[in-house]
Amino acid sequence: MSVKHEKIIIGTRGSPLALVQANMVKDGIAKISQYIDVSLRIIKTSGDWKPEDGEVRLETLEGGKAQFATEIEDALLSGEIDIAVHSMKDMDSILPDGLSIPFMLPREDARDAFLSDVSQNIGDLPKGSVVGTSSVRRQAFLLNKRPDLKIAVFRGNVQTRIDKLRAGQVDATFLACAGLNRLGLSHEITSIVEVEEMLPAAAQGAVGIEIRSEDMDRLSFLSQLSCKKTYICVSAERGVLRALGGSCHTPIGAYAVLNGTQMHIRAQAASLDGEHIWFEDEYREVSSHEEAAAFGAEIGKRLKSVVPASIFELI
């Protein structure tokens, strides 16, 4: 019997989707080498929804979306775990010193999914319908198209939100196609929202592998799991966010498409009530993730230059 000579501990949240994504990395490592012993360590994060939190937006809680990663990153920095697996859309655009995300799995469908028992799409929702979402991006972009709709703050994991919808708490909700696909719940999708109708969150559908920067040589084998195209596109989208202020909670969508070396970036920002919306897009040749990040930052700066400063205040 072969003796395994390397141990890797993966840190992850305990939600069903987080565990699926962590196991994708675990299974991938197992295929790379039979001599690596991989285990998961579930870390409870401040962002994990608790009933006592009530139906409040994550952005209103201290730390915002960063709460999904803070405790996991602390465990990584302390050496308790070797790598962390994250949904990239939950990550701040600026990482703690000493950490990096050099690897990303191939991206799933980046689009939003529309779920409803009363309508087939956004346009067909009856006037005054209640839509459940915890995303300020989805709220703003939706109200821009349908100001007659009512928004109910919706939290909980994927299945919890589906159960609330089926129980009639709201008329419709949105979830990421990527999460539904990975959980085997694509049959719950009523219709897919095309990016032309609602830009996805930056990095939606992408899973990143975070490591200590000093461990790059030791963990370089993880590059075999990484998708270069995903990495380049996500670098561009996160470049947009970084230029717009890093962890600001303004309704923002960013989506990059790469065909060969030609990249198309679309970015959008809106007021929370959806009354005002700003959009930028451009094509450019890029050959590396550094060039893509710079391209995204340029688009983000251009967008920020036309958006009133008040829009970027924390909500």
Q: Provide the H-helix boundaries in the chain.
A: 16-32, 70-78, 136-145, 158-166, 177-182, 228-243, 289-306
**Is 90 in the active site?**
yes
For residue 43, give the H/E element and its range. none
Quick one: tokens of 22?
């962590």
The single residue of 90, 92, 112, 171 carrying the catalytic annotation is 90
Phi then psi dihedrals of residue 43, to 5 deg: -120, 120
Q: Which residue bears the tokens 């409803």?
A: 116
- How far is Cα 67 from Cα 64, in angstroms, rounded to an integer? 6
- How far is Cα 247 from Cα 118, in angstroms, rounded to an integer? 35
Beta bridge partners of 267: 254, 280
3-class secondary structure, 30: helix
Q: Provide the H-helix boundaries in 59-188.
A: 70-78, 136-145, 158-166, 177-182
Strand duo 191-193 + 172-176: pairing: unpaired
Q: What are the residue numbers of the active site?
A: 90
